[in-house]
């Protein structure tokens, strides 16, 4: 798969009938794999699908949390559709999760996150983004283990929101959980990316294969 992909939805053809987590199979509506531009330089990662995405099967759609992220992506020039689009017209960004299934009454267990890790690792490897955007404390800590030199418990998402963290091979630009963000938080994230990421050659963070 290259940047001239035919589909934005689950472009790598990952298993949409996954049964690795018995506690989720009976309560989920959909397995929600990644969505977006496989040539994207920005990878947005949340902990699990919100209720809207569980219903639609497409990340960050169908509810207020999805509209907030789509609005942020639009402000950054990554989305050319409206914030409530059912199938966002996205470019230079890819959206995914630590876990691909939603339990309506609880967050994912550590075991469930571990079960989904191969999906996320494969997406990161195949997309080879420049910037990782961990959305929320749990995602930030998970990304810190692999991609930074800091202890995971040294990060606080409230402090790290809308900042740049130098990582191992990637830069991380953490974001508060979407359902905790105020409009001011969202604007701070957009302004940080525009003023401190777009304004310099972030591609120097790591060597990148030509597309």
> pLDDT 10s digit of each residue in the chain, 211 long?
344 566 899 999 999 999 999 999 999 999 999 999 999 999 999 999 999 999 999 999 999 999 999 999 999 999 999 999 999 999 999 999 999 999 999 999 999 999 999 999 999 999 999 999 999 999 999 999 889 988 999 999 999 999 999 888 889 999 999 999 999 999 999 999 999 999 876 665 443 443 3
In a domain, 208, yes or no: no
Q: Are 72 and 93 in contact (CB under 8 A)?
A: no
Beta strands, E only, 104-145: 131-134
DSSP 203: G
CA 27 to chain centre: 23
pTM here is 0.91
> Does residue 9 fall inside a structural domain?
no
Establish if 197 belongs to a structural domain. Answer: yes
Is residue 109 situated within a structural domain?
A: yes
Number of domains in the chain: 1
Q: Which helix (H) or strand (E) holds 124?
A: helix 110-127
- Helix axes of 64-75 and 183-192: crossing angle, nearest 10 degrees: 30
CATH number of residue 134's parent domain: 3.40.470.10
15 lies in some domain: no
In whole angstroms, what is the distance from residue 53 CA to residue 86 CA?
10
């Amino acid at each position: 798969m290259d940047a001239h992909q035919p589909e934005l939805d689950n472009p790598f053809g990952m298993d949409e009938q996954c049964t690795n987590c018995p506690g989720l199979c009976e309560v989920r509506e959909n397995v929600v794999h990644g969505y977006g531009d496989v040539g994207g330089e920005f990878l947005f990662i949340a902990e699990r699908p919100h209720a809207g995405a569980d219903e639609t099967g497409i990340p960050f759609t169908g509810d207020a949390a999805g509209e907030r992220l789509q609005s942020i992506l639009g402000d950054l020039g990554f989305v050319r559709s409206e914030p409530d689009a059912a199938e966002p017209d996205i470019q230079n960004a890819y959206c995914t999760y630590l876990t691909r299934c939603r339990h309506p009454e609880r967050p994912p267990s550590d075991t469930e996150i571990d079960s989904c890790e191969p999906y996320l690792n494969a997406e990161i490897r195949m997309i080879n983004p420049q910037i990782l955007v961990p959305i929320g404390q749990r995602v930030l800590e998970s990304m810190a283990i692999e991609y930074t030199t800091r202890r995971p418990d040294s990060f606080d998402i409230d402090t790290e929101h809308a900042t740049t963290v130098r990582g191992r091979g990637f830069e991380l630009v953490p974001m508060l959980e979407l359902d905790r963000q105020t409009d001011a938080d969202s604007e701070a994230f957009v302004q940080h990316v525009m003023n401190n990421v777009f304004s310099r050659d972030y591609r120097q963070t790591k060597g990148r294969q030509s597309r």
